[in-house]
Amino acid sequence: MGACLALCSLASCASCLCGSAPCLLCGCCPSSNNSTITRLVFSFFLLMGTMVSVIMILPGMETQLRKIPGFCKGGIIVGYKSVYRMCFAMACFFFLFAAIMIRVRSSKDPRASVQNGFWFFKFLILVGITVGAFFIPDGTFNTVWFYFGIVGSFAFILIQLVLLIDFAHSWNKIWVGNAEESSNKCWYAGLLTFTVLFYALAFAAVVLFYVYYTQPDDCVEHKVFISLNLVFCIIISIVSILPKIQEAQPHSGLLQASLISLYTMYVTWSAMTNNPNRNCNPSLLSLVSNISTTQSPADSNPGQVQWWDAQGVVGLIIFLFCTLYASIRSSTNTQVNKLMQTEEGRGSGGEGVVGEDGIRRAVDNEEEGVSYSYSFFHFHLCLASLYIMMTLTNWYEPDTTMQVMQSSMPAVWVKMSSSWLGLGLYLWTLLAPLIFPNRDFN
C-alpha cells in the first residue's frame, strides 16, 4: 500500500503509476486534489519515521548498531542519538513544506501540485535529510535540540487538546442527533456511560497520584499539581452545564469536560514521571513489585536508556489517534476550525467520480479555496515530530558529557503549563459565545 501511494503521480490525475488497479487505501487513484489522501500519506511518512525511531531505540537494536564501524563513537546512548536525528530529519522535512506552502489559497496555485503529488520524490527528500542527519557531529547538537523539542512538544500538547475537544464535540453532536432523529434512548445511554467512565478513570487517577506520587513530608510540587488540576477539572465540568452555556452552545456538556479532565490527568501523570526526585517519582516496576528505585534509570543502569514505560505507551497511543484524526477530520466547530486553520464549506478536495474504466478518481474541488491550510498542517506534523522525539526519550535531558540521560524539572513545568493553558483554552471555548454574543461560535 505504501509503495503504491509513493508511486502515484499527480502530474496527470489519470491513473496510478503502480498499475491500472485502484490504490488499496481509498479504492481510487489519488488525484491532485484529494486532500484526505494527501494528509494520510504525509501522516504515513510521520508514522514510518516514528516506527524507525522505535526500532532504533530498542535495547537489542542498540547492541546491533554498535557493530557498525564509526556509527557508535558516542558509546552507550546510540539509540537515543538515533531518535534525535531521525526526528530532526522529520521536523526539517515538514518545516520545509510548511514554508513552501505558506499562503496557498486554492488548487490553482502551482504549489498545490507539489503538495498533492510527487510522492516518490518527497520520499527521496526525506530519506536524504535522514541520512544527512546521522552525520551531524555530537557537540552541542543534542542539548540544543532537546530545548527545541521541549518548545515544540509544548505546542503539540495544546494541539492534541484542541483535537480532543473537537472529537468530543463531534461525538456528542452526532450521538445526540441520532437520538433525536430515531427516538432511541440508547444513544443517550451510551453518552452517559462514556461520560461516567471518563470521570471514573480521572478520579481513580487522582487517588493513585496521591498514593504513589506524594509523600507526607515531601513532593510538595506534586501535591500542588494534583490538587490544582482536580479543582480546574471540577470548574470546567460545572461551567459546561450552566444554563447560560447550554443556551449559547446546546452541544456542550459533560462528555467533552470528562474527556478533557481525563486527558489533563494524563498530562499531570506524564509531568510527574519526569521529576528527578525518585522519592516522588516511583517507577512502574517499583509500584508492581515493591522494589525500591531511588535512582534514575540512567544512574542504575548507565548502559541503557529506559523509555518504554507506561506513560510513554499511553502518549504514543494518544499521538497516533490525534494524528489519524487530524488527517481525516471534517469539523463543524467554528472555533476549532479557526484554531486548526480549516474552514467548513470550503473545498472538500476529494469527491469521487467513477470513470468509464470503472476506477474512482477524485475531482478538483479546491479551485475556489483549499479545504485546510497546507502550511499549518505541515507545521503541525513538524511539532508532532518533536513530540515523538521527547516521548521516545522519556523527556530525559542529556548532560554535557553525553554519557547519561536524566529527568529534568523543565520538562515537568512544560507539561504542567501546557495542561493549564489547555484547560484555559477549553474554558474559553465555553465562555466566548457569552462574552461576544454577536459573533458566530456554533
Tell me: pLDDT of 345 over 60. Answer: no
The DSSP call for residue 66 is T
For 310, the grid coordinates are 507506561
Q: What's the chain's length in residues?
A: 442
Angle (CA) 276-281-282 rounded to 5° is 130
- Comparing 339 with 155, the larger pLDDT belongs to 155
> Mean pLDDT lowest for which of 223-232, 352-361, 366-375, 401-410?
352-361
* Residue 116 to residue 377: CA distance in whole angstroms: 13
Please report the DSSP string for 254-312 in residue order.
Answer: HHHHHHHHHHHHHHHHHHHTT-S-TTSS--HHHHHH-----S-HHHH-TT------HHH
Task: Indicate the SS3 state at residue 415.
Answer: helix
For residues 209-235, average pLDDT:
90
Tell me: pLDDT of 183 over 60. Answer: yes
Q: What is the pLDDT at residue 286?
A: 47
Dihedral sign, Cα of residue 332, residue 335, residue 339, residue 345: positive
Q: What's the Rg (C-alpha) of the chain?
A: 24
Strands 351-354 and 360-363: antiparallel
383-426: pLDDT as tens digits: 989 988 888 887 776 654 444 455 667 778 888 998 898 898 88
Please enumerate in sequence order all residues whose Cβ is within 8 A of that of 369, keeping only pairs 6 or more positions apart, or say none.
105, 106, 343, 346, 347
82-137: pLDDT as tens digits: 888 889 999 999 999 999 988 887 777 788 888 888 889 999 999 999 988 888 87
142-178: pLDDT as tens digits: 788 888 988 898 888 888 888 888 888 888 888 888 8
Please enumerate in sequence order all residues whose Cβ is within 8 A of that of 233, keeping only pairs 6 or more positions apart, or say none.
202, 257, 260, 261, 264, 265, 423
Dihedral sign, Cα of residue 367, residue 373, residue 379, residue 383: negative
Tell me: pLDDT of 308 over 60. Answer: no
* Residue 157 to residue 263: CA distance in whole angstroms: 10
pTM: predicted TM-score of the whole model, two decimal places: 0.72
